[in-house]
Structure formats: structure tokens, C-alpha cells
């Protein structure tokens, strides 16, 4: 009798273990939140590595587009954007005979492209490995297949990216400074850095026919005559700064200027010591706004990737368009003229970025981004922008993306680093470009 009971018990235990072992594990659930997290990681690494605004826009656009092309193959409602723009790239077909998690593959491609284009590769590698361990434990076959496909897409993108002329611009001459011409841009304090990315207009765009397609209206003719339009705009910068100083650091203008600073490398000098205060770029701020909008609209994974991708492509083209004009007009910054002719002790609220004045990069990028986001989310989309909270600044509320873009553009006057023409004409330049991106990519309302 005891032997029978022991035998039955052994069979029961064995059967129970067999049943438990044969039960398939639940695959990891990847959501829009995971995509936000990965893009945040890439942003944080870019801040650490101190990428210039144009270069940062290149990283965002390629990383997002690589992920999107995988999503588009799975979702019949989405079109291939590389095909839409006629890109010279062949996206490997999704093998439907294999168990592939397309979301996992998209994140893997995004991370791989991000790692390829930044400096601190180990940061992305460590982050990726932590994700991979979890995914592999949940379903090893799905992980292996998804990783294989994601890397195939990333490899195709690497070949295409390699042809965008970025590497060639690394070896082109630095920007020449002509000190005898007072109207031309000069390096500004405190670091007196060379003009950054003087050949950025040579980078391959996504939707533009050429870098000069949206060439803005000419800025007022340079003149230090007191009745000239140029001199009046110069004095406006000087007087606005003085008025802000009188009201103290708690004015609304001061808050706006600092909120939209977005200078990735602010040099601070303490005696013989100079160090950097790192921040996101203007494009990074609008990527942050895209995150805010996507979360408020409760977008799913596919739509989140779509929103980021179309917006980042607009940002990238905006920098190409803006930099084309900056180094064509090569206009001197307000700080240089005010210190030379009006008040040698005057300082702007914000540190003057190291490149020519016209047009305002914030204005062009904000105008373009706002047009794409307006198409995606609607004209009266209210949101609370918390993008700058990690950098010690409070949230700001906006009634629309265009409202935010106008404030971002005007912040450059309050910051003391741009004339009004660069702000207003730059915003028009960005709006025109943004509408072009919406039409070219056939951006859909989410």
C-alpha cells in the first residue's frame, strides 16, 4: 500500500513539473513608454557628449526613422517614409515565417543607430544589454529573431547614413573670420569658439530639394546710422536687456529667455577655471514636446514612433535650411556690436551661441516643428511643457504648438542674442518648411 501511494505521489509530482515546464512564458509587453525611455536615454547621452544642435538633429532623425521603417512594415496604415522621400536605401523585408516582435526589433534598430552616431557607445551598450537580458529571458527565440531583424535594418541604415556627406564635412576648412569687416560674424565671449558646422548646408536633407529651398527674406541692410532699420533693431536688443535688468530676474521675459535657452554648451568661467553647463538642444526641446503630446494623447507604440519620426525629420531639415542662411549672410551678433560701439560692459541674458546671427535657429526649428505637431495633434492642443524640469526650470503651459513656437522665437530677443528680423523671418522660414514637410511626408492626424 505504501509503495502504491509513493508511486502515485511520484507520478503527480512529475506530471505537475511537466505541466509547469510546458506552459509557454508570456512574451515581454513593449509599449510606447518603452520607446519614450529609449529616446530619453539617447538624449541624455547626447547631452553628456555635447553635440551641437545640427548634429543632434541628425541623430534623432536617423534613430527614429530606422525604428519607424520596421513599424511601417507591420502596420498597413503606415507608409514607408524612406520610399516617400525616394531614399537610396532598401529596407530588409520582414520575415513572416519567423516569430518576430516588431516593437522589439524597432527598439533594437533605434538603439543601434543611436549608438553608431554618438560618442559614449558604452552608455548605450550597457542600457541595451539590460533590456536584452529581460527580453531573452521572456522568450529567447523571439528575442533572437527580433534582434537579427532589427540589426539587419540598422545595417541598411548605416550604409545609407554613410552617404549623407557628414564625414566629408568633418575634413572641410574651418570658418574664416574677417576682422576688418564689422558686419561679419565674430567669435563671442566667454569662450570665443569658432563658428560651428559652417558646412552643414551640404548635409543631405530628407524632404528639401536643396538647402536654399526656403531661403528667407534678406535681413535689413547693415548700417550703424541711427535712423537705419538695422541700428533700430540693434538698439531694441540693447534696451530690452536693460529693461529686464531693471525689473530683476523674476520678470516673465527672463523666464521665457531661460526656458528656451537650450544651449548644449554654456561656458562658465571662475577665475582661471572654465567649465561647461550641459543642456539639451533646441531640437531636443521639441522632441521633448513631442513626448509630452504623445503621452497626453495616449498614443500607442506605432503612433508614438510616427510622431517622433515626422517631427525629427522636420527638425533635421530645419537646421540644414537655417545653417544655409547663417553662413551665407554671416551677420554679426548684437553682443559684438554693442560691446564695440555702445557699452563694452553689456552682456546678454543668454550666452551667445558660436555661429552667425541670421536667421534664428530657434525660430526656424520651432516654426517647422510646430507645423508638423499641429498636423499630428490638432491646432488647439493644450499642453504643459516639462522638458526643462531636469535642468532646474519650471513647467510652462501653452495653448497650442504654434503658441509655443512664437514664444520660443521671441525668447531670443529677451535673451539678447538675436535681432527682430532674425526672429520673425526665421519663424516664417520654419513655418514654410514645416508645411512643406507635412505635404511631402503626407503627415496624418493621429
Global pTM reads: 0.92
Q: What's the confidence (pLDDT) of residue 442?
A: 98
What pLDDT shows up at residue 266? 83
Is the CB of residue 424 less than 8 Å from the CB of residue 439? Answer: no
Is 53 in contact with 319 (CB distance < 8 Å)?
yes
- Nearest-Å Rg of the Cα atoms of the chain is 26
Cell of 70: 520596421
Grid cell for residue 185: 560674424
Q: What pLDDT score was predicted for residue 18?
A: 37
Check residue 340 and report its DSSP letter: I
Distance of alpha carbon 120 from alpha carbon 238, whole angstroms: 40
Long-range contacts of 27-30 (CB under 8 A, 24+ apart): 27/101, 27/138, 27/139, 27/142, 28/101, 28/104, 28/134, 28/135, 28/138, 28/139, 30/101, 30/103, 30/104, 30/107, 30/301
* Fold (topology level) of 201-440: Vanadium-containing Chloroperoxidase; domain 2 (1.10.606)
Cα–Cα separations (whole angstroms), residue 117 to 61, 113, 149? 11, 6, 20
Residues of the chain with pLDDT under 50: 1-26
- 427 Cβ partners below 8 Å, 6+ apart? 360, 363, 364, 366, 367, 405, 406, 409
Block residue for cell numbers 531573452: 136
How much of the chain exceeds pLDDT 90, in percent? 86
Helices (H), 221-354: 229-247, 252-259, 282-296, 301-329, 334-337
What is the residue extent of each domain of the chain? 32-167, 201-440
Q: How distant, in Å, are the alpha carbons of 17, 230, 281 from that of 23?
A: 10, 75, 49
pLDDT at 275: 57
d(CA 159, CA 175): 29
Burial-class residue 136 by CB neighbours within 10 Å (0-12, 13-18, 19+). Answer: middle
Closest to 112 measured CA to CA, from 131, 125, 99, 93:
125
Handedness of CA 436, 441, 442, 446 (dihedral sign): negative
Amino acid at each position: 500500500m505504501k509503495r502504491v501511494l509513493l508511486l502515485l505521489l511520484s507520478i503527480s509530482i512529475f506530471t505537475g513539473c511537466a505541466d509547469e515546464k510546458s506552459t509557454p512564458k508570456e512574451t515581454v509587453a513593449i509599449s510606447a513608454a518603452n520607446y519614450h525611455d529609449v529616446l530619453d536615454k539617447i538624449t541624455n547621452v547626447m547631452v553628456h557628449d555635447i553635440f551641437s544642435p545640427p548634429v543632434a538633429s541628425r541623430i534623432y532623425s536617423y534613430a527614429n526613422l530606422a525604428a519607424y521603417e520596421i513599424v511601417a512594415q507591420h502596420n498597413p496604415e503606415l507608409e514607408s517614409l524612406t520610399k516617400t522621400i525616394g531614399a537610396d536605401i532598401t529596407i530588409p523585408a520582414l520575415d513572416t515565417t519567423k516569430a518576430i516582435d516588431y516593437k522589439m526589433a524597432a527598439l533594437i534598430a533605434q538603439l543601434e543607430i543611436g549608438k553608431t552616431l554618438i560618442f559614449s557607445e558604452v552608455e548605450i551598450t550597457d542600457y541595451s544589454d539590460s533590456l536584452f537580458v529581460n527580453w531573452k529571458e521572456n522568450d529567447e527565440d523571439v528575442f533572437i529573431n527580433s534582434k537579427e531583424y532589427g540589426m539587419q535594418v540598422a545595417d541598411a541604415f548605416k550604409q545609407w547614413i554613410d552617404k549623407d556627406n557628414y564625414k566629408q564635412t568633418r575634413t572641410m576648412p574651418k570658418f574664416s573670420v574677417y576682422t576688418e569687416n564689422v558686419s561679419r560674424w565674430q567669435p563671442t565671449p566667454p569662450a570665443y569658439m569658432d563658428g560651428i558646422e559652417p558646412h552643414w548646408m551640404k548635409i543631405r536633407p530628407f524632404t528639401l530639394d536643396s538647402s536654399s529651398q526656403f531661403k528667407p527674406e534678406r535681413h535689413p541692410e547693415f548700417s550703424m546710422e541711427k535712423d537705419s532699420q538695422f541700428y533700430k533693431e540693434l538698439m531694441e536688443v540693447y534696451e530690452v536687456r536693460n529693461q529686464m535688468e531693471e525689473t530683476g530676474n523674476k520678470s516673465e521675459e527672463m523666464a521665457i529667455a531661460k526656458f528656451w535657452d537650450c544651449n548644449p554648451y554654456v561656458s562658465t568661467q571662475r577665475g582661471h577655471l572654465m567649465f561647461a553647463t550641459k543642456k539639451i538642444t533646441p531640437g531636443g526641446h521639441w522632441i521633448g514636446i513631442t513626448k509630452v503630446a504623445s503621452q497626453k494623447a495616449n498614443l500607442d507604440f506605432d503612433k508614438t514612433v510616427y510622431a517622433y519620426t515626422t517631427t525629427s525629420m522636420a527638425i533635421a531639415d530645419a537646421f540644414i535650411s537655417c545653417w544655409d542662411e547663417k553662413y551665407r549672410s554671416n551677420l554679426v551678433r548684437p553682443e559684438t556690436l554693442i560691446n564695440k560701439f555702445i557699452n563694452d560692459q553689456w552682456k546678454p541674458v543668454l550666452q551667445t551661441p558660436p555661429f552667425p546671427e541670421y536667421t534664428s535657429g530657434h525660430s526656424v526649428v520651432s516654426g517647422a516643428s510646430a507645423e508638423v505637431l499641429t498636423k499630428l495633434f490638432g491646432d488647439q492642443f493644450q499642453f504643459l511643457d516639462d522638458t526643462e524640469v531636469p535642468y532646474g526650470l519650471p513647467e510652462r503651459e501653452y495653448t497650442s504648438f504654434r503658441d509655443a513656437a512664437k514664444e520660443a522665437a521671441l525668447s531670443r530677443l529677451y535673451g539678447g542674442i538675436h535681432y527682430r528680423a532674425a526672429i520673425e523671418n526665421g519663424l516664417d522660414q520654419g513655418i514654410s518648411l514645416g508645411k512643406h514637410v507635412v505635404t511631402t511626408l503626407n503627415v496624418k492626424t493621429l
